[in-house]
Amino acid sequence: MGFGQFNQNTREGLPRRGQIITGITGTMAAGLSVGSTVWAFRYPASASGVLYVSRVHQHYCCIGSFTTPVTAGRRLHLVRGSGGDPSGSSALDVERKNANDTLETLVSGRIANTGGVTVTSVSYETPVKRRLLLAHAGSAGVDYDEEWRFDGIAAEPLYLQPGQLLGCVAGATFDAAGTWQLNLSVDAIELVP
């Protein structure tokens, strides 16, 4: 038996399932280092299916101006990887879309308070899945929304195998003096054979 078909309009052969993953950083400190993890969640190694991530929405807001408000290369990367559970900082909120479904394996994850999330023994894949370009967004009060859909229409589906993580990392070192927040919302569904 396969994983069945899934798109925006139908869920052929699948029970009504799904999970919402949300979180908001604290005020991120100036000078975030390249490669620092802003948020990450892991599909448990004990899971028996795959996790289909259908949508990732990030909303960035600059709180305190960066030393150089417009800086080429300032960006965040959406990455997939393997390794242990993220730790430290604050827990991501994970909720079942169907309160009556108790069978779906939920992810667990963390989001940064002021610096990076601790990710021990995690190896992220290259190339990155998506980039959130923030080169223009270094003045106080600037906000920026980005939504990525992996619905088979806008882009090919994005899957996590058991033990894999999805995360957001700094693609470059952020300049000194700038502070910011990031709001996260992810839609996913576990596909069980």
Q: What's the whole-model pTM score?
A: 0.89
pLDDT (tens, 9 = 90+) of the chain, 193 residues, equals 344 444 444 455 555 789 999 999 999 988 899 999 999 999 999 999 999 999 999 999 999 999 999 999 999 999 999 998 999 999 999 999 988 888 899 999 999 999 889 888 899 999 999 999 999 999 999 999 999 999 888 888 999 999 999 999 999 999 888 999 999 999 999 998 7
Rounded CA separation 108/116 (Å): 17
Q: Are 19 and 94 in contact (CB under 8 A)?
A: yes
* Token pair in block for residue 27: 């005020």
